[in-house]
A and B are shown apart, each in its own frame.
Chain A
Amino acid sequence: MRRGRIQEAAFTFLMVSSLALVTATLVGIVAVVLIKGGPALSVDMITETPTAGYYLGGGGGILNAIVGSLWLALSATALAFVVSIAVATYLQREFSTPRLANAVRTVLELLWGVPSIVYGVICFVIMVFVGLGTSLLAGIVALTLLEVPIMTRVMDESLSSVPPELKVSAHVLGSNRAETSVRVVWRQAAPGLVSAVLLAFGRGIGDAASILFTAGFTDFIPRSVLDSAAALPTMIFFLSTSPLPEVRERAYAAAFVLLALVLVISVASRLLTHKLSTYVVK
Chain B
Amino acid sequence: MVCAFLALVVLILVFKSSYLLGQRSLADLLLTTDWNPPRGRFGLLPIIAGSVYVTGLAMVVAVPVSVLASTYIAEYMRGAAQHVMKSFVDVLAGIPSVVYGMCAIIVLVPLVRDVVAPAFGVNSTGFCVLSAAAVLAVMVFPIIISVCVDIFRAVPQETREASLAVGATKWETTKLVVFRAALPGVFSAVLLGLGRAFGETIAVAMLVGNLPRMPASLFDSAATLPSLIASTYGEMMSIPLYDSAMMLLALILILIVLAFNYLAGLIKKRFERLQLGESA
Q: Which 9 A-B pairs have the closest CB atoms?
A: A206-B96, A115-B199, A113-B261, A8-B171, A15-B72, A18-B68, A18-B69, A209-B201, A117-B201
Closest to B167 in A: A3
B208: interface (CB < 8 Å): no
Q: Which residues 59-101 of B have a CB within 8 angstroms of A?
A: 64-66, 68-69, 71-73, 76, 85, 87-92, 94-101
A63: interface (CB < 8 Å): no
Whether B3 pairs with A110 at a CB distance below 8 angstroms is: no
Given A86-B2, A240-B101, the answer on whether A213 and B260 have CB atoms closer than 8 Å is no
Whether B226 pairs with A90 at a CB distance below 8 angstroms is: no
- For the complex, give the distance between the alpha carbons of A23 and B201 in Å: 24
Tell me, rounded to whole Å, the shortest Cβ–Cβ distance linking B219 to chain A.
Answer: 19
Whether A213 pairs with B2 at a CB distance below 8 angstroms is: no
A251: interface (CB < 8 Å): yes
Whether B88 pairs with A26 at a CB distance below 8 angstroms is: yes
A26: chain B residues at CB < 8 Å are: 88, 91-92
Contact flags B221-240 to A (C-beta < 8 A → 1, else 0):
00000100110010000000
B30: interface (CB < 8 Å): no
Size of the chain B interface, CB-CB below 8 angstroms: 74
A114: chain B residues at CB < 8 Å are: 13, 199, 254, 257-258
Whether B230 pairs with A125 at a CB distance below 8 angstroms is: no
Tell me, rounded to whole Å, the shortest Cβ–Cβ distance linking A191 to chain B.
Answer: 15
Whether B68 pairs with A111 at a CB distance below 8 angstroms is: no
- For the complex, give the distance between the alpha carbons of A117 and B253 in Å: 10
Closest to B92 in A: A26
Interface set of A (CB-CB < 8 Å, partner B): 2-4, 7-8, 11-12, 14-19, 21-23, 25-26, 28-29, 32-33, 36, 83, 86-87, 90, 100, 103-104, 106-118, 121-122, 125-126, 145, 199, 202-203, 205-209, 212-213, 233, 236-237, 240-241, 251-252, 255, 258-259, 262-263, 266, 270
Contact flags B255-280 to A (C-beta < 8 A → 1, else 0):
00110111001000000000000000
B170: chain A residues at CB < 8 Å are: 8
- For the complex, give the distance between the alpha carbons of A170 and B250 in Å: 48
What are 25 inter-chain pairs, A to B, with CB distance below 8 A? Answer: A4-B172, A8-B171, A15-B68, A18-B66, A18-B69, A22-B65, A22-B142, A26-B88, A29-B95, A29-B99, A87-B2, A104-B3, A110-B261, A114-B254, A115-B200, A117-B226, A117-B229, A118-B13, A209-B202, A212-B230, A236-B102, A237-B98, A240-B98, A240-B101, A262-B96
A17: chain B residues at CB < 8 Å are: 68
- For the complex, give the distance between the alpha carbons of A29 and B95 in Å: 9
- For the complex, give the distance between the alpha carbons of A35 and B261 in Å: 37
B183: interface (CB < 8 Å): no
- For the complex, give the distance between the alpha carbons of A26 and B233 in Å: 31
B247: interface (CB < 8 Å): yes
B196: chain A residues at CB < 8 Å are: 113
- For the complex, give the distance between the alpha carbons of A14 and B67 in Å: 11
B132: interface (CB < 8 Å): no
B100: chain A residues at CB < 8 Å are: 29
B190: interface (CB < 8 Å): no
Q: A112-B261, A122-B16 are in contact. List 9 more A-B contacts (CB 8 A).
A: A11-B68, A12-B72, A32-B107, A86-B2, A212-B230, A237-B101, A240-B101, A240-B105, A251-B102
From A22, A83, A113, B257 is in contact (CB under 8 Å) with A113
- For the complex, give the distance between the alpha carbons of A213 and B233 in Å: 7
Most buried by A among B2, B66, B92: B2
Closest to B265 in A: A109
From A7, A100, A104, A205, B171 is in contact (CB under 8 Å) with A7
A12: chain B residues at CB < 8 Å are: 72, 76, 171
B246: interface (CB < 8 Å): yes
B172: chain A residues at CB < 8 Å are: 3-4
Given A110-B258, A116-B201, A125-B16, the answer on whether A8 and B99 have CB atoms closer than 8 Å is no
Tell me, rounded to whole Å, the shortest Cβ–Cβ distance linking B255 to chain A.
Answer: 10
A108: chain B residues at CB < 8 Å are: 6
Whether A21 pairs with B103 at a CB distance below 8 angstroms is: no
B12: interface (CB < 8 Å): yes
- For the complex, give the distance between the alpha carbons of A164 and B232 in Å: 51
- For the complex, give the distance between the alpha carbons of A19 and B3 in Å: 42
Closest to B250 in A: A121
Closest to A35 in B: B106
Whether A207 pairs with B96 at a CB distance below 8 angstroms is: yes
Q: Which residues 131-163 of B have a CB within 8 angstroms of A?
A: 138, 141-142, 145
A241: chain B residues at CB < 8 Å are: 105, 206
Whether B90 pairs with A266 at a CB distance below 8 angstroms is: yes
Most buried by B among A3, A32, A121: A121
A110: chain B residues at CB < 8 Å are: 10, 258, 261-262
Whether B65 pairs with A21 at a CB distance below 8 angstroms is: yes
- For the complex, give the distance between the alpha carbons of A14 and B250 in Å: 38
Whether A113 pairs with B17 at a CB distance below 8 angstroms is: no
Most buried by A among B73, B199, B262: B199
